[in-house]
Amino acid sequence: MTQIATVEEILDHGYARISVPRKSACGHDCEECAGCGVSGASVRARARNDVGAQPGQKVVVESSTRKLLGVVAIVYLLPVVFFLLGYFLSAGLSETVRYLIAIGAAGLSFIPSVIYDRYARRHESLTYTILRVF
């Protein structure tokens, strides 16, 4: 996945600290919606700087799609799977109890997301590569 980012600082060994605007599905047409409360937040990350970009420059960066799809699976797919497992494995109980178990199972599915988020922050798992200056 390619995005436009801003180089904030040059790091050691051919890397740079970049600021990548956070993307969302809504398109941030806030005057039409104002529902999400997100105001153009950005993500700071480390990027491989083989092109020699300097601080303040806009650059085109690429992130690993494979890693990103894994994160999407953990965050979006796992809660649905846990909810369905909780519901169907509690057959024979009342509907109210089945739904409570399913909701509890979906809630538990966020634990791997939190663990992976902490791991990814420590090890900078989501890496970017600067392709060219914009």
Query: Given this model, what pLDDT does residue 93 score?
Result: 95
Q: What is the pLDDT of residue 20?
A: 85
Summarised one tens digit per residue, pLDDT across range 50-97 is 998 999 999 999 887 777 788 888 889 999 999 999 999 999 999 999
Give the pLDDT of residue 35: 57
DSSP alpha helix (H) spans, the chain: 65-72, 78-88, 95-108, 110-123
The counts of H helices and E strands in the chain are 4, 5
Average pLDDT value for the chain: 84
Closest to 104 (Cα-Cα) out of 126, 77, 85: 85
Q: How confident is the model at residue 43 (pLDDT cuts 50, 70, 90)?
A: confident
Kindly report the pTM of this predicted structure.
0.59
